[in-house]
Amino acid sequence: MKSNHDQCPRRQFLAGMLAAGLGTAAEMSGKSMSAIRNQDFYHDGKFLADKAKDTYFSMMRGFGYPISPRLKSELWVVDFSLGDFARVGMAGIFWYNDKATNVFGHEIFLLPGQMIVEHSHVETAKAKPKMESWHPRHGSVYCFGETGGDIPAGVVLPKSQEQFITVRKCTEVPTGDILTLNRVTAKHFMMGGPSGGIVSEYASFHDNDGLRFTNPGVKF
């Protein structure tokens, strides 16, 4: 699915990918995902985190997103130990996470079509179930959960996750809009839009022990 607000960011993203040597002009003449090959992020079965970071930094530069020294040093990337990074993975940075004030600030980075695996947040000994809102600053995302509409035409769920997806209502969230989880403990996941997405997350205190993934193979 295409929308007008995505066209310029997509061109910027493609230019960044070309500059990073991650695809030829022929490979990138169609969808931007064609420049992102899963095999480029693995060697002998090992996930190449540095290569993944470089790809996100290329996306950031394409969007004109500032890469501060703190971001460069603290950005983390994951493939959830699933070996399908081009389709299932993410990058992020925790700007702020404080139990005393119950405040959490997080930036999420998603490549085009890349999925954060389905999950929920439950109560722990340290915290109540996490509540969160998502605010795309660049690009767009598709948020899946208990509320929303049908999956838009052209949005393809990763085959590696199909059997573990339990919520299929979808809301497209473009640059500048905001969406809030409909209720605590609700299962949800997110996918990058056609040009990827950079998303500010506002939430209550995050305790990793409260994460519950529907895919039992996930390691985080």
Residue 218 forms part of a structural domain: no
Exposed/middle/buried for residue 77 (C-beta within 10 Å: 0-12, 13-18, 19+): buried
User: CA-to-CA distance for 56 and 35, rounded, in angstroms?
Assistant: 13
Lowest mean pLDDT among 18-22, 102-106, 111-115, 118-122: 18-22
Residue 220 forms part of a structural domain: no
Range(s) of the domain holding residue 94 = 4-213
Residue 125 forms part of a structural domain: yes
Mean pLDDT of 112-120: 98
Residues 6+ apart with CB under 8 A from 13: 32, 58, 59, 62, 63, 112, 139, 195, 196
Classify each residue of 43-64 as buried b or exposed e, where b means 16 or more C-beta atoms within 10 Å of its C-beta: eeeebbbebbbebbbbbbbbbe
Residue 159 forms part of a structural domain: yes
Phi and psi angles of residue 40, each rounded to the nearest 5 degrees, phi first = -70, -15
Question: Which CATH number do you get for residue 150?
Answer: 2.60.120.10
Element (H, E) at 179: strand 179-180
Task: Report residue 169 as tokens.
Answer: 């209502």
Q: pLDDT tens across 3-44, in order? A: 334 444 444 445 444 444 444 322 222 335 457 899 999 999
Task: Report residue 103 as tokens.
Answer: 């405040």
Which pLDDT score is estimated for 4? 37
Q: How far out from the chain centre does Cα 153 lie?
A: 20
Residue 20 forms part of a structural domain: yes
Residue 167 forms part of a structural domain: yes
Residue 123 forms part of a structural domain: yes
User: CA-to-CA distance for 176 and 138, rounded, in angstroms?
Assistant: 8
Domain count, the chain: 1
Task: Report the predicted TM-score, pTM, of the whole model to 2 decimal places.
Answer: 0.86
